[in-house]
Structure 1
Amino acid sequence: MTQGSESEQVRELQARLRQIGHFHRSPTAFYGSMTAEAVSGFQRKRGLAETGSVDGTTWRRLLAVTRTPTAGELRPATTNELDEPDPRCLKGRVLCISKESRTLAWMIDGTVVAAMDVRFGSENTPTREGTFSVGWKAEDWESTLYHTPMPYAMFFSGGQAVHYSPDFAARGYSGASHGCVNVRDKKKIASVFGQVKVGDKVVVHW
């Protein structure tokens, strides 16, 4: 395997590298520059020639220090890795939002039901941290301040809400919200919107 390759074996390679901390994104099955860098790092640590490509020796060494990836590892729910949940997220129904990992986990009694990537407000319009609850919901809403669409909005602190963001979907982390928690996966947030009830807990933490 080398740069430009695309196969399910590449997906497995990425998942195995992720298990041991060399690859930090969801497996894509495409062997690009980030995969090559991850392979080089693995080779360097194991005293192998740093080619950035996977030969028989590199593959056998990787198999020896990893396990067969699960279906969830091969196709995880979020691009960003979930971190350890905040203790406040372990009981009840909680939208557990981590600024460090830039993820949202919809949790029920400590179990992650769904997970997705999120982004936050800028320095001028920061997303508030703390423990809140969903005050109200609106499936089809437009910001009265900024006149931007906020589909599947779940308001938790004044005008701040978790909602789908077409801008996040298009621009990624090159942009920011006005304080809301933006989600870029419309299908996932629509599903969670249908499950979350007014009064459910929201935890925003580092």
Structure 2
Amino acid sequence: MSGLLVPLTLSLGAAPAQAASCTTSTGPYQKQVEKFMGRPVDGRQSPADCKAIQTFQRWHAITPTIGYAGPVTWRTMNTILAQRAAGTNPNKSGACPTNKGRIACVDLTRQLSWIQDGAKLKYGPVPVRTGRDGAETRTGAKKVYYRSIKHWSTLYKVWMPYSQFFDGGQAFHSVTKSMYNPPGSGGCVNMRPADAKAYWNLLKNGDDVHVYGRKPGT
């Protein structure tokens, strides 16, 4: 079973080069962002606040990367908090069916996915990156119908490793970018390479997929 690894700030190694500018403006979500980052919660932007926020923004390609505590930055952090709260019981609400045997569940609201067998968790939960506004990952009951371990997208002209299609052109597949990179995918369920490989090894054609919820910001 894979743990849910969603870093607060600097657990990914050396950060990219420092951005050239850092805003002095206090954002509308300043206190929430300060709390998330482990900064003193005073609701006022400081140089240290800005640098910490910039680091988070650079890791997840949130632009503009100026250290502003705006809606996209806070929405991303809030999603991470919701994922952490899921713990090892992501289906506590029972929203994903437990009467179908092996099933891959996708919760758009929390940007989480996991595989369960009945009510037993088999893998996950793991963070995913789903469809952006206007190209939403479609909800409902699906089935894996086509698998391609090294798929080439003729639409986007990119490789889609460990592709498992479950609804038209929408599939689970590996990407190398952050799971929190806005605005989202073209409709597919993007996964970290290790998670996409695990899904490849656990699922097969005909297995059920259940997608529910609504992605934040769509």
User: Is the alpha carbon distance of 1:89 and 1:102 closer, same or farther for their aligned partners in structure 2, counting shifts above 3 Å?
Assistant: farther
What SS is found at the alignment partner of 1:104?
A: strand
Residue 99 of structure 1 and its aligned partner are, at CA, apart by: 0.6
1:138 paired residue number? 148
User: Is the alpha carbon distance of 1:120 and 1:138 closer, same or farther for their aligned partners in structure 2, counting shifts above 3 Å?
Assistant: same
Q: Give the helix-richer structure, 1 or 2.
A: 1
Structure 1 unaligned blocks of 5 or more: 1-24, 41-77
1:60 paired residue number? none
Residue 108 of structure 1 and its aligned partner are, at CA, apart by: 1.0
Q: 1:125 aligns with which of 132, 135, 138?
A: 135
Alignment of 1:1-206 (within 5 A): 34=36, 36=38, 81=86, 82=90, 84=92, 85-115=94-124, 116-168=126-178, 172-183=180-191, 185-206=192-213
What one-letter code is carried by the residue in structure 1 that aligns with 2:164?
M
User: Is the alpha carbon distance of 1:176 and 1:89 closer, same or farther for their aligned partners in structure 2, counting shifts above 3 Å?
Assistant: farther
Deviations, residues 113-153 of structure 1 (Å, cap 9, x unaligned): 11111111112211110000000111100111111221111
What SS is found at the alignment partner of 2:206?
A: coil
Structure 2 unaligned blocks of 5 or more: 1-5, 12-33, 42-82, 214-218
What SS is found at the alignment partner of 1:188?
A: helix
Residue 28 of structure 1 and its aligned partner are, at CA, apart by: 8.5
What one-letter code is carried by the residue in structure 2 that aligns with 1:167?
K
Larger radius of gyration: 1
Residue 34 of structure 1 and its aligned partner are, at CA, apart by: 2.2
Deviations, residues 10-31 of structure 1 (Å, cap 9, x unaligned): xxxxxxxxxxxxxxx668898x
Residue 175 of structure 1 and its aligned partner are, at CA, apart by: 3.7
Q: Percent identity?
A: 26
User: Is the alpha carbon distance of 1:100 and 1:134 closer, same or farther for their aligned partners in structure 2, counting shifts above 3 Å?
Assistant: same
Residue 80 of structure 1 and its aligned partner are, at CA, apart by: 7.0
Q: Does structure 2 retain, via aligned residues, the 8 Å contact 1:80–1:103?
A: no
Could you tell me how far apart the structure 1 residues matched to 2:164 and 2:204 are?
9
Could you tell me how far apart the structure 1 residues matched to 2:10 and 2:188 are?
33
Q: Does structure 2 retain, via aligned residues, the 8 Å contact 1:91–1:110?
A: no
What SS is found at the alignment partner of 1:166?
A: coil
What one-letter code is carried by the residue in structure 1 that aligns with 2:155?
L
**Number of aligned positions between the proteins:** 140
Q: Does structure 2 retain, via aligned residues, the 8 Å contact 1:83–1:101?
A: no
What SS is found at the alignment partner of 2:177?
A: helix
Q: Does structure 2 retain, via aligned residues, the 8 Å contact 1:92–1:109?
A: yes
- Give me the TM-score of the superposition, normalised by structure 2: 0.56
What one-letter code is carried by the residue in structure 1 that aligns with 2:36?
M
Residue 159 of structure 1 and its aligned partner are, at CA, apart by: 0.7
